[in-house]
Structure 1
Amino acid sequence: MERIVILTGAGISAESGMGTFRGAGGLWNDRRVEDVATPEGFARDPAMVQDFYNQRRQKARQVAPNAAHEALARLQRDYPGEVTLITQNVDGLHEAGGSPSVIHMHGRLDGALCAACDHRWDAPEVMEVAHPCPACGAGAGRPDVVWFGEMPYFMDEIFEALSRCTLFAAIGTSGQVYPAAGFVQEAFRAGAHTVEINLEPSAVVSDFAETRFGPATQTVPAWVADVLGG
């Protein structure tokens, strides 16, 4: 059986209006990553971090999936083999675009996590400092997103899929954030054909056997059409 594994990054959501990770004009440019995307930053200034993610959550609810998200949903529906979709994004646009199954390795903006008991629940539009956990009552609610220095989610499942894949595609990723930047090497060791689909070359572009460059709303639907045979 043919098995496709796809990794998506911020570039696939850029044309929907979500800022790219540390890109030109991206949403990180006016905030130090250390301040808003680390446990230490949250400990120093939880109010600022909660406000930052409240704004991102509001933004995510205002944007719509684009043709690239919809094309990958079509691939998941119509491909006769397996398609595993992994995303570094926390915006939920893959599901909004029709994808039936998505592995969120960096969590989701619409989720909340209790730092005291690890309970998860649907995040309200606005989370406050010391947001109470509905399970244990501790004022330890935080966004359910993976920050720098924390272990991404579902890694066992991801590496299992990579070990069996016959085709690996990285779409809209910078190739600067590990472990995701190393997935292409895992796929290569499994004997998979590898393709990078991006607006411009990533930091690990030389690891890919095939490259396609251009806006995601053009390159991704074209690639999906090729994979599906039209």
Structure 2
Amino acid sequence: FAPALAEMFPEAPVTTVSLEALTDTLTGKSRPGHFAGVATIVTKLFAGLQPDRAYFGRKDAQQLAVVTRLASDLSFPVRVVGCPIIREADGLAMSSRNTYLNDLERRAATSLSRGLMAAADAVERGTLDAETLEAIAYDAMSSEHLVEPEYAELHDAHSVVHLNTVDRDSFLAVAGRLGETRLIDNVHFDVTDEGIVIDRGIRSQQTESGQS
């Protein structure tokens, strides 16, 4: 089911769905109104299709939180499933936007994932305070002159509030610009009775040239 715009909106809508409490930070701060559009479209799809499950990538952790809360608040009988980030062999999170990067920008873009992996390593060693983890991720982006860092922040995985420490399910999110291209990435920290489970994503087994 891939409806055309005219099918989804036969006339200009006057109704929108907004989750302001979850969208005033991170991408929502830099792209005002973006998540209202996402939430409105998803609401129409959930209402029309009535799916049992809906799969959304963890790469946009804020969007995943928005859709999950939307389904709960509006009592849609759907299970929202978060899917792991898929990474290139060099760690860069897969995205259609990667095709906009030139060769130099493409190499510099790995600083986003490099900083996140370093922060994840720090968590494994017992470092849980947000300021330290955010600095690790931000400094990695700053080390590449082609990258303009936008943020590196630790947030609650469900409410998207900013956190001071990894004491609940959370994600460390980064965003940076390379020329006209804006990239996002994150690592998730799932807090369990046994400890913190880190979701770094799934790295492709292919080489950068695309050969196995």
TM-score, normalization: structure 1?
A: 0.25
TM-score, normalization: structure 2?
A: 0.26
Q: Which has the higher contact order (CA 8 A, sep 6+)?
A: 1
